[in-house]
Every structure is written in C-alpha cells, then in structure tokens.
C-alpha cells in the first residue's frame, strides 16, 4: 500500500505488471492529455485506418482539460476529469499499446478486461486538486486538435506527478476494495 | 425608485466569477479540518490534506481551485424598488461572465449539445432571477462543475414512499455515484414543488454555508441521518475508501401536489464555490 514507485514513459509490459492497486506512483517525463472530444477523433482516425497524431505505444494519457495558462504559467489548473466517459474509446487505444490512463472514477468491465488482456493500468490523480497538480507540469505543447481548446491533445513534460494505481493488470480495483474495507453495516 | 446601471452588474459579475473560482470559502476549509479528525483511512487523510493545500495554492497564487471552472450559475435577487438602467439585465450578466472567464483565465466549458463545439466564452450563464422586497440587488455566482452535476438526478416518488423513500434514494444515488463526483461531496436535496422546482431547490440548498444548521429542526435531523448513512458506505475521499464520503447533506423543502412527491439530488464536489455581493 505504501510503496512509492517511479515511472517514466514509454512503459513496457514489465513496468506495468509490477504495479499493484494502492501503489503510490510518481510519473516523470512525457505524458499526453486527451478527453472526450479528442478521444472521439482518435477513434475516428483508427476506424479510417489512419495514423494517430502521436505514437501511442507505451504511453500514458491523462484525462484533463486544463484552464488557460496565465502569463508566466506553463499550464493552468490541471486535475483529472471523470474517466467513464472515455470507456467507449479506451479499449481500442489499449489494444494499440496504450499502457496507462490517469483520471478519476471507476472504469467499465470492458476497459478492465482490455487492461488485463493487453497489460495496461489505470491511475487516479486527486480530482479537484488542479492548482496543486499543475505545479508538476514543466512543459506543455499542443500536438493535435488545437481547435478543441481545453480538449486539445497536449504533450506534457511532468516531474513527479503523484498518482495511485486503481486498476492493475490482474483485474483488481481499488475503488471496490477501498469501499469494502471501510463500509459499515 | 433606486436606479442601478447594468454596467455595474457586469463589473460585479466579472469579479465574482474570478473570485469564486480561486477562493474557496472558510466553511469548506473548516469542513476539511473536521473530516480529517474523523478520517480512518491513511490514504483518505492524505487526500484531504492535499485538498487543503490545493485551496491554499489557489488563493495565494490566484489560480483556479479546479480546472473545471464550471457552468456559471447566477442567482439574482432584484429588489422591486430598483430600476435597472442602461441596458438589459440578462445581457449585462452574460457580458460579466464573458469578461470574468476571459480575464480570470478560467476554462470555457460550454458547448453545443450535438456538435460539442465550444461557445468560446463560457456563455450562456444560467440565470435564476427572483423579485424580492426592497431597493437592493443580490448577486450570487456558483460555478458548477460537470463531473458532479452528471451524478445528479430528479425523481418523482410516490407519496407512499414517505421519508424512508427519500433516504433510500439519496443514499443510493451517492453510492452509485461512487468515485465519479470527486468525493467528499456536498449533497443538495430538493423536496416538493414541481419537477423543475425540486431541482432548483436542490441547487439552492448548496448555497447554505457548510456547518450551519437547517432552520427546520425536522429537516436538520433528516440531514444528519442521511449523512450518517452516506458516510457508512465507505466510499471515502476520492472513492478510494474511507469515512468521509460527504461533508454535508443540505435539504430545502416546499409543499407539493397531492398526487406528487418530487425529489431532486444535486451532487456538489468538494470544490463548493460560490461568492455573493449585495448592491
């Protein structure tokens, strides 16, 4: 529960296999942002047999739509958005090599199955801690869909972004286990 | 008749939008402190500490508490002895929201329902206007995030469901919402009225300061019973397990039709933001 693990994408099968639910992880290096509208466009590309705007193999997608950067800021506030809205899209991306997703809230059984089958993990960042999390972002640039504004895909360089493993490759779920542990009556 | 220029309203709405999004109320911070005393989960405790630290950074650095700076919900109380001059009220409020979200570097989160194309300036705002006695106006801005709003529901219960029916539905709603609405949440409950009035009551109940008692002793008791049941669910901060699933349950009630028993549950994340001004 209290192990703290350092990760730097791109991640291999071995990197994600060693992660267990409840593990505290700090991520450094490059991650990508994407939420509702960007996911829909990525899936439209895949359906049309086209390449994605970035190589997804081994990467982590952070479900976030940041506030605009103030002058002198790298990025505005940047906490996670609720993940279930990406459930319809995630299995196709996991199948193509996506290794990690950062968001908040429970994933569907289909996504959990895909994580088991293709070896990927789901992390939670603290929802509503946007000001705090933005401090871990060192660089940000839009790599696709600038017209989507906050929903554009950005490449972020992060330094020690703190997350918790919620779903591991063995099909465990911290949301279910955590609730069970503290339920009364 | 007291004259108030709508230009002044634009200016105040702009400022309130920015302030509401960066400066969480002391009532919320105190609720975090109380929750920390009771939280049994080490991870839950750590999350509550993070939320306090996040609020501190937001206020000190004048940055949004959360990246979801919300739908701008505006409650406008108009004293009936006030004459608004120099333009139309709705236009003035929308302009205030436009300026506040632009100048405050707040996220623009409003889009076309079908195409999802962003309106680009966070308008239209939702405006609830009420005419009241007196020669003052009161403006309240309550930015509402999408994640918690999505977990909200209106249901038309049957009169025979009774108070037990209310408890059952509210607790079940919080249980099913799980980790999605960023717990610890505040649960706004509207009982009675009509379909749309119940929802408005639920939303308005969220404006009451945390830690304050419901002026109706019967409802105060019901709030505390529902809160106990919710916090026994074990969902905890961020849904990762713990004692603090909700910080408070707030109820507003009014009479309803003899055939009806409307109930609305408006879930609010821990970033319970609202600012008000009286002019």
Residue A169 in contact with residue A115, Cβ under 8 Å? Answer: yes
B119 in contact with chain A, both atoms CB, cutoff 8 A: no
Assign A185 a pLDDT band (cuts: 50, 70, 90).
Answer: confident
Q: How far is CA A61 from CA A146, B128, B151, B182, in A?
A: 17, 38, 24, 20
CB pairs under 8 A between A and B: 168
A130/B66 CB distance under 8 A:
yes
Angle, CA of A26, B66 and A93, to the nearest 5°: 55
Give the CATH number for residue A94: 3.20.130.10
Residue B218 structure tokens: 């019967």
H or E stretch including B7?
helix B6-22
The predicted complex's ipTM stands at 0.94
Among B54, B69, B239, whose Cβ lies nearest the Cβ of A105?
B239
Query: What is the predicted pLDDT for the residue at B55?
Result: 97
Task: State residue A1's pLDDT score.
Answer: 45
Q: A3 pLDDT exceeds 70?
A: no
| Domain count for chain A | 1
- CA–CA distance from A54 to each of A30, A45, A87, B264 (Å)? 12, 12, 20, 44
Residues pairing with A161 in the sheet: A27
Q: Which B residues, 241 through 270, put their C-beta within 8 Å of a C-beta on chain A?
A: 241-243, 269-270
Domain containing A74 equals 4-182
Q: Report percent pLDDT > 70 for chain B.
A: 100
pLDDT band at A60 (very low <50, low <70, confident <90, very high): very high
Determine the distance in angstroms separating the CA of B156 from the nearest CA of chain A, rounded to an integer: 27
> Which residues sit opposite B144 in a β-bridge?
B71
Considering only alpha carbons, which residue of chain A is nearest residue B121?
Answer: A149
The Cα–Cα gap between B98 and B243 comes to 40
A176 touches chain B (CB under 8 A): no
Check whether A61 has a pLDDT greater than 50: yes
Verify whether the Cβ–Cβ distance A181 to B54 is below 8 Å. no
Closest approach of B168 to chain A, Cα-based (Å): 15
Which site among A2, A108, A182 would you substitute to test the B interface, given the most B Cβ atoms closer than 10 Å to its Cβ?
A182
What is the mean predicted confidence (pLDDT) over B103-123? 96
* Interval B20-76: pLDDT, tens: 999 999 999 999 999 999 999 999 999 999 999 999 999 999 999 999 999 999 999
Known catalytic residues of A are 39
Is a pLDDT exceeding 50 seen at residue B89? yes
Q: pLDDT confidence of A2, banded at 50, 70, 90?
A: low
Interface test with B, best of A178, A181, A184, A185 (most B CBs within 10 A): A178
Tokens of B182: 């960023």
């Amino acid at each position: 529960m209290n192990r703290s693990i350092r990760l730097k994408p791109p991640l291999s099968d071995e990197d994600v296999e060693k992660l267990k639910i409840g593990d505290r992880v700090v991520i450094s290096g490059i991650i990508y942002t994407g939420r509702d509208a960007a996911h829909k466009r990525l899936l439209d590309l895949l359906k049309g047999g086209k390449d994605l705007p970035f190589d997804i193999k081994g990467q982590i997608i952070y479900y976030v739509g940041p506030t605009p950067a103030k002058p002198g800021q790298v990025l505005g506030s940047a906490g996670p958005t609720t993940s279930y809205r990406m459930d319809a899209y995630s299995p196709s991306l996991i199948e193509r090599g996506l290794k990690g997703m950062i968001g908040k809230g429970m994933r569907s059984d289909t996504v959990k199955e895909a994580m088991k089958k293709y070896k990927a993990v789901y992390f939670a960042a603290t929802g509503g801690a946007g000001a705090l999390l933005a401090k871990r972002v060192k660089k940000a640039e839009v790599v696709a869909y600038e017209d989507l504004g906050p929903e554009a895909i950005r490449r972020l360089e992060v330094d020690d972004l703190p997350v918790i493993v919620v779903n591991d490759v063995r099909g465990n779920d911290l949301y279910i286990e955590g609730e069970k542990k503290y339920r009364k009556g | 008749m007291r004259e108030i220029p709508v230009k002044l309203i634009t200016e105040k709405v702009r400022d309130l939008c920015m302030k509401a999004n960066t400066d969480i109320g002391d009532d919320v911070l105190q609720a975090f402190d109380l929750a920390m005393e009771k939280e049994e989960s080490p991870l839950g405790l750590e999350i509550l500490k993070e939320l306090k630290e996040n609020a501190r950074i937001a206020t000190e650095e004048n940055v949004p508490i959360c990246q979801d700076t919300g739908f701008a919900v505006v409650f406008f109380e108009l004293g009936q002895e006030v004459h608004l001059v120099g333009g139309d009220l709705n236009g003035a409020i929308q302009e205030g929201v436009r300026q506040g979200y632009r100048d405050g570097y707040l996220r623009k989160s409003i889009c076309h329902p079908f195409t999802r194309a962003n309106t680009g300036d966070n308008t239209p705002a939702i405006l609830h206007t009420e005419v009241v006695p007196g020669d003052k106006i009161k403006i309240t801005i309550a930015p509402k995030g999408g994640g918690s709003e999505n977990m909200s529901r209106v249901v038309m219960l049957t009169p025979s469901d009774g108070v037990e029916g209310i408890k059952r539905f509210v607790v079940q709603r919080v249980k099913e919402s799980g980790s999605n609405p960023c717990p610890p949440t505040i649960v706004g409950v509207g009982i009675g009225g009509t379909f749309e009035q119940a929802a408005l009551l639920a939303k308005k109940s969220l404006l009451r300061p945390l830690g304050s008692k419901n002026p109706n002793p019967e409802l105060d008791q019901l709030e505390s019973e529902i809160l106990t049941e919710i916090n026994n669910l074990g969902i905890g901060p961020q849904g990762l397990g713990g004692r603090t699933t909700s910080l408070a349950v707030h109820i507003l009630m009014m009479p309803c039709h003899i055939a009806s028993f409307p109930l609305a549950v408006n879930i609010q994340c821990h970033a319970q933001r609202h600012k008000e001004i009286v002019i």
